[in-house]
Chain A
């Protein structure tokens, strides 16, 4: 692997990994509430996030571009064409995936586990954490699916990052640029690395799930 490609691969992993952690900050608590509590409007919220799964990345990219551009509401922060902008965009993109899959994983836990934890002396908070621990296999799969979605998307990385060499160029933007420029070999190499990352992580997650 050339130094140029290695640089792009490492940047892609860093940006999408950070996006995953960022998204977990709000997705995990929300999934816990949706998975453990029953309240009015719960189904509407779940339906909303399920519908959001189908939002095209270019649509989200355009919306965020307008927000981050100089005249946009967040223009003062000068985020456009920075790695941070891509991280925020990807974090928002994968939020519906994380919430839907994490909620399903939590709901799949035997409902008697909560009572069991309580009768063994757990507080309500400890019982909730126990349920999350029981849902760990599904949660790992949710995290991997979200990460794969982030690292493999193009629209947000291109519109918010601008594909600047050495700064915001990631694997997907490199592939698109390479095709336009006739750098087919570099594009193919980037594609193979991207596919290897996605397949490896998915296989590992499935192995966890099957244990």
Chain B
């Protein structure tokens, strides 16, 4: 599988804290890669680096083999979308929330309406377009932000704890959407839910104290861990 995005010795420090330390990571084309780790391990920081929202303090990022620098970051950012842990919505209707990114890409009129409606259908929110987004339930809001990301048809989709605040029904819907993306869109999911990681992933990365201590297929992480630390990690003993 070709490499979609690569981090080479990426370190991220802020306010005197090293959130990521010399991380090497290859995200492969079309895979679902799950990053697991306890709270404070650096999962969100890693996703923000992959989303090109934060610059690394040191290290290099490349996207489809091309090095990402300040002059090209905006162009690459349009190919990536991140969904935050808690839904962030514009103070507007569901339709306008989803249409925002489409309009930034130069789409207009009927094409925007079609893409918005398709995205709403994919998250089972048909007919929700005219509702005020902030008045929806937590689960519906999470599905709207997912629809907003899917409408953009990103090459790389980053999901930060996508089911952390959802009831089982909504969590199941979101997981099914992620599974359906496999092979078409590269997906990186950050979660502290090891069961979800087993269910969803092509590969699982274990992040602890800002370092990736292992990255492998779920079977090799959860069933045949290579050492005692990974075994404990897979059991959730560090969580």
Contact = CB atoms under 8 A, between A and B. Distances in A.
A78 interface: no
A134 B90 contact: yes
B84 A116 contact: yes
Interface stretch (A23-31, A120-128, A179-187, A194-202): A120-128
B104 A119 contact: no
Interface string A127-149: 00010011001000000000000
A121 B152 contact: yes
A118 interface: yes
A193 B70 CA distance: 57
Contact of B51 (A117, A119, A122): A119
Contact of A134 (B77, B80, B84, B91): B91
Interface in B60-80: 74, 77-78, 80
Most B CB atoms within 10 A — which of A116, A130, A134?
A116
A130 B92 CA distance: 12
A116 B88 contact: yes
Contacts, number: 41
Interface in A93-126: 110, 112-113, 115-123, 126
B81 A118 contact: no
Contacts of B211: none
A112 B84 CA distance: 9
Nearest to A123: B74
A137 B91 CA distance: 10
A129 B203 CA distance: 39
Interface of B: 51, 53, 74, 77-78, 80-82, 84, 88, 90-91, 100-101, 104-105, 148, 152
